[in-house]
Amino acid sequence: MFDYESPSMSTSVSDSNVNSFKNEYFFPILDQGIVSINERFQQLDKFNEFGFLYNIGSISKMNKDDLMKNCMDIQNLLEVGDTKDINGREMFDELVILCEIIEEDTSPLKVLEKIFSYSVDDIYCNVSIVLRILLTMPVTTASAERSFSKLKLIKNYLRSTLSQEKVTNLTIISIEKEIADQLKYDIIDQFADIKSRKVIF
């Protein structure tokens, strides 16, 4: 501290730095974290509307009023303005008929596969739409986060000139390591031997 600086002046400067850090970095990061967490829980709340379809085989045991309510809730959830992706009443009828055909322990994926394998997706159009949404709805972002972490390992400063296609291919191989380990690379070894520039005298 210089002679002309008072202790109170030094303290006020450090306080202003702390406040500046809080306002410019800490609070925005905290706000972003809170918003992300809230969005995640809102997505899970929407996902709960589809929950009864996980036990689609046992829907026949459900109370008809509860089933109708669930179908109407999904209709309202998938409604934007005057546009409806599904009709809740028709979905209710489709589920009632479908439950007489499928076995109790059938999974939603198996039901959807049967609907498309027998080409009855026009008959069970509402159920097929809802099942496709259910089965493609991301529960977590773990796969996306894993992709980014792998990408960080692959495209480092030493490999900064890799083309997009090569980066994509290397990332897929890295993510699907278990499958890649089972592959046989004999053809690669043969190719490497052919292209080898070593001259044996």
Q: What is the pLDDT of residue 125?
A: 92
Q: What is the pLDDT of residue 72?
A: 92
Q: What is the pLDDT of residue 89?
A: 94
Using alpha carbons, select from 92, 97, 98, 137 the residue that is nearest to residue 114.
98
Binned at pLDDT 50, 70 and 90, residue 29 comes out as confident
Q: Is pLDDT of 165 > 90?
A: no
Q: What is the pLDDT of residue 148?
A: 64
DSSP 101-151: HS-TT--HHHHHHHHHHTT-TTTTHHHHHHHHHHHH--S-SHHHHHHHHHH
More confident residue, 127 or 137: 127
In a 3-state reduction of DSSP, which class is residue 185? Answer: coil
Binned at pLDDT 50, 70 and 90, residue 92 comes out as very high
C-alpha–C-alpha distance, residues 34 and 29, integer Å: 9
Q: What is the pLDDT of residue 13?
A: 57
Q: Is pLDDT of 11 > 90?
A: no
Domain range list for the chain:
46-136, 141-195
Q: What is the pLDDT of residue 141?
A: 53
Name the range with the highest mean pLDDT among 27-31, 33-37, 116-120, 192-196. 116-120
* Partner residues linked to 84 by β-bridges: 79
Binned at pLDDT 50, 70 and 90, residue 87 comes out as very high
More confident residue, 134 or 158: 134
As a whole number, mean pLDDT of residues 106-122 equals: 90
**Residue 114 CA from chain centroid, whole number:** 25
